Structure 1
Amino acid sequence: MDLQDQLKNLFPDHEPEESTDKIDAKPSYWLQDDPIICKYEKRKGKPITILEGYNGADSDLKKLAKDLKTFLGVGGSVKKETIIIQGDFRDKIMAFLKDNGFTVKRVGG
């Protein structure tokens, strides 16, 4: 006997309601016309990916950075209107940003 059957036994008169509200799976960010610049550097021998050129609100920048870090499963930070991601993830980051409606420009290599 699964949970649905147990609930039907406990509450025979209750009819479950279908949720008609669909939650949008994609997060909403402030989109801009200018492309976000995605570049690769090495600092102290460690590879990092830098995203520059986002001119939205600071809260949107932090939300975008958090979603990118969660998507990639890596660390990073937000400093001086740039997002710094640990590791070389340019291709994955560019695909993520394009899926969310941004235009991205790859710089270097």
Structure 2
Amino acid sequence: MDLKDQLKNLFPDHQESEEPKKEQSNIWLQDDPILCKYEKRKGKPITILEGYTGATSDFKILAKEIKTKLSVGGSFKDDKIIIQGDYRDKIMTMLKDKGFKVKRVGG
């Protein structure tokens, strides 16, 4: 007897409902490329993304998605995404898969 059968025995009146599907957010794509920079601050490497001309809320969503996929820390300040560590290659491939134009700056 699996878990669903056990739950049906405990709650015979319950009707299963389909889970609502999450819609992917439509992030505004731009003509100008997003700049992907590498810097060192206080001796530690960081990756900076800047040059997005869409809404700030879209850029914040993009920042959160990058941080969760890479499992790293970071922040969003002054219309820039700051990611802890050197993840330029991974971030550039993620953004290209989403349809953005990305330009690597420095190093």
Consecutive unaligned residues of structure 1, counting only runs of 5 or more, are: none
Q: How far has the Cα of 1:8 moved from its partner? A: 5.3
Structure 2 residue 6 is the aligned partner of structure 1 residue 6: yes
* Equivalent pairs, count: 106
User: Quick one: distance in 2 between partners of 1:43 and 1:14?
Assistant: 56
2:48 corresponds to which residue? 50
- After superposition, the CA RMSD in angstroms is 2.2
Render the CA deviation track for 1:56-96: whole Å, top value 9, x for unaligned.
Answer: 11111111111111111111111111111110000110111
Render the CA deviation track for 1:15-48: whole Å, top value 9, x for unaligned.
Answer: 867x5x7645x54311111110101011111100
Out of 61, 66, 69, which is 1:68 matched to?
A: 66
| Moved beyond 6 Å, runs of 4+ | none
Structure-2-length-normalised TM-score:
0.82
User: Quick one: distance in 2 between partners of 1:62 and 1:84?
Assistant: 11
